[in-house]
């Protein structure tokens, strides 16, 4: 058996081929959209996602990721820098965790003749908060036209920036082992809003020793949206660690940028302290404060205490 260990806060592609494909579904064409989604099906694989701890994988590892495989079929004139992206929302324990959509910036679709297709795959990666393959997922497809960075005006310019445009191409729901057209109902994919616009629901932290004897702090945080969540959010974290009775401020490089998170949906991000600024010895504890930045205002949305590989909510005492 061959195995490998991936470092903390690393993102790896699937480690073995896909398995357990679902039934296929074709979405109907959308008026005005130059592409449609066909031959969509789910599959399972082994993957290593973002997390605070190293991950060991081998050829016998259990599946822990779900993918949506599909073809983007060209049925009209595709705009320059037009592409198809997918928003994935999967149920993990008590949370509906969302990833994407990520714009396809390679501009491949515009060169494909009408009637032909571009095969694509989007994967819901495992996190520190999910161990197995989600049993319920919703896939929302978008045709997006996103201008390249070179067309964005320089800072200080009075020019009007080009606008991103998108068209919804439809939704699919995977539940009870079957893929069907349409969004998932609340009975299989509930969205329970938090009691504030954004809350740090859970955090997994780890204080780890490096080969040179120094230490680092790694964290993974799960945030949940409530009513009034901003359309765009930026989540960061700061920490204070106790080194033999002396407090030291450190910065886990956690930067979550989320757009259009709906009330009751969650998102996950991970980060760790920089190797360029290590902790010289093992801290007794690290107090981590998670914050949301919006319109120049920073608001604390949760704090946690990390001791070794154990995390508790609230300040360290």
Per residue in 238-295, pLDDT (tens digit) is 999 999 999 999 999 999 998 889 999 999 999 999 988 899 999 999 999 999 988 7
Tens digits of per-residue pLDDT, 180-190? Answer: 999 999 999 99
Q: What domain count does the chain have?
A: 2
The answer as to whether 188 is a domain residue is: no
- Identify which has the larger pLDDT, 151 or 78: 78
Q: Which domain holds residue 121?
A: 3-181
| Residue 38 to residue 216: CA distance in whole angstroms | 46
Of the two residues 179 and 54, the one the predictor is more confident about is: 179
Same domain for 114 and 217: no
Residue 53 has pLDDT above 60, yes or no: no
Asked if residues 310 and 304 have their Cβ atoms less than 8 Å apart, the reply is: no
Report the pLDDT value the prediction gives residue 217, as an integer from 0 to 100.
96
Among 9-18, 91-100, 189-198, the least confident range:
9-18
What is the enclosing helix (H) or strand (E) of 257? Answer: strand 256-259
**CA separation (Å) from 258 to 45, 53, 96, 224?**
26, 23, 15, 11
Contact yes or no for 206/113 (Cβ under 8 A):
no
Question: Using 50, 70 and 90 to split pLDDT, how confident is the model at 57?
Answer: low
Least confident range of 29-33, 102-106, 138-142: 102-106
For 148, which DSSP code? -
pLDDT at 9 over 50: no
pLDDT tens digits, one per residue of 64-78: 889 999 999 999 999
pLDDT tens track for 23-34: 999 999 999 999
Same domain, residue pair 30 and 165: yes
Helix (H, G, I), strand (E, B) or coil at 151: helix
Assess if residue 37 is contained within a domain. Answer: yes
pLDDT at 1: 34
- Say what the pLDDT of residue 243 is: 95
Residue 226 above 90 pLDDT?
A: yes
Q: Taking 60 as the threshold, does the pLDDT of residue 12 lie above it?
A: no
Cα–Cα nearest to 109, from 133, 135, 145: 145
> Domain containing 284 — which CATH number?
2.60.40
Q: Domain for residue 309, yes or no?
A: yes
pLDDT of 80: 83
If asked whether residues 209 and 289 sit together in one domain, one would say yes
Q: Where are the beta strands (DSSP E) in 75-197?
A: 82-92, 95-99, 117-124, 137-145, 165-175, 178-181
- Provide the percentage of residues in the chain whose pLDDT is more than 90: 65
Over 60: is that where the pLDDT of 51 sits? no
The mean of the pLDDT values for the chain is 86
pLDDT of 55: 52
Instruction: Judge whether 190 lies within some domain.
Output: no
Q: 23 and 96 share a domain?
A: yes
Task: Supply the DSSP symbol for 109.
Answer: G
Side-chain-side CA neighbours of residue 120 (13 Å): 22
Distance, first Cα to last Cα, the chain: 45
Residue 193 within a domain = no
Based on the domain organization, do 209 and 271 belong to the same domain? yes
Do 105 and 161 belong together in one domain?
Answer: yes
Instruction: Pick the last residue of a domain from 181, 209, 235.
Output: 181
CB 15 within 8 A of CB 55: no
Per-residue three-class SS string for 57-77: EECCCCCCEEEEEEEEEECCC
Q: Which residue has the tokens 């009637």?
A: 115
Residue 203 and residue 76 share a domain: no
Structure tokens at 98: 């969302």
**Do 257 and 227 share a structural domain?**
yes
The reply to whether 305 falls in a domain is yes
**pLDDT band at residue 13 under the 50/70/90 scheme:** very low
What is the three-class DSSP state of 25?
strand
Query: Do residues 135 and 266 both lie within one domain?
Result: no
The last residue of one of the domains, among 150, 181, 212, is: 181
Q: Which of 37-51, 56-70, 126-140, 194-208 has the lowest mean pLDDT?
A: 56-70
SS3 223: strand
Same domain, 17 and 158: yes
pLDDT of residue 17: 55
Q: In angstroms, how far is CA 135 from the centroid of its own chain? A: 18
Strand partners, 139: 88, 172
Q: Of the residues 181, 212, 233, which one is the last residue of a structural domain?
A: 181
pLDDT (mean) for 223-229: 97
pLDDT value at residue 6? 36
Q: Is 150 helix (H, G, I), strand (E, B) or coil?
A: helix
Instruction: Say yes or no: 71 and 139 in one domain.
Output: yes
Rounded Cα distance between 136 and 131, Å, is: 14
CA distance 316 to 288: 9
| Residue 34 shares a structural domain with residue 126 | yes
- CA–CA gap between residue 189 and residue 91 (Å, rounded): 6
């Amino acid at each position: 058996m061959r195995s490998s260990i991936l470092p903390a806060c690393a993102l790896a592609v699937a480690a073995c081929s896909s398995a357990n494909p679902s039934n296929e579904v074709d979405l109907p064409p959308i008026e005005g959209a130059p592409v449609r989604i066909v031959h969509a099906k789910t599959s399972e694989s082994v993957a290593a996602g973002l997390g605070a701890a190293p991950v060991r994988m081998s050829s016998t590892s259990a599946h822990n990721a779900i993918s949506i495989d599909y073809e983007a079929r060209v049925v009209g004139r595709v705009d320059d820098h037009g592409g198809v992206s997918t928003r994935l929302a999967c149920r993990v324990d008590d949370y509906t965790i969302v990833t994407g959509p990520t714009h396809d910036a390679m501009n491949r679709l515009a060169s494909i003749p009408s009637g032909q297709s571009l095969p694509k795959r989007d994967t819901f990666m495992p996190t520190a908060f999910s161990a197995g393959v989600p049993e319920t997922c919703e896939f929302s497809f978008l045709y997006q036209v996103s201008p390249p960075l070179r067309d964005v005006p320089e800072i200080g310019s009075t020019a009007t920036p080009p606008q991103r445009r998108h068209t919804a191409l439809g939704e699919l729901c995977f539940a009870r082992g079957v893929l069907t057209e349409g969004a998932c109902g609340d009975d299989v994919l509930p969205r329970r809003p938090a009691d504030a616009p954004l809350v740090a629901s859970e955090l997994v932290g780890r204080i780890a020793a490096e080969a040179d004897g120094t230490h680092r702090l790694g964290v993974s945080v799960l945030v949940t949206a409530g009513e009034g969540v901003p359309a765009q959010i930026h989540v960061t974290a700061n920490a204070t660690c106790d080194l033999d009775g002396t407090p030291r401020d450190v910065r886990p490089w956690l930067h979550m940028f989320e757009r259009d998170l709906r009330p009751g949906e969650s998102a996950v991000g991970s980060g760790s302290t920089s190797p360029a600024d290590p902790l010289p010895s093992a801290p007794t504890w690290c107090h981590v404060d998670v914050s949301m930045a919006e319109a120049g205002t920073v608001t604390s949305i949760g704090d946690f205490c990390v001791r070794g590989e154990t995390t508790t909510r609230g300040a360290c005492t």
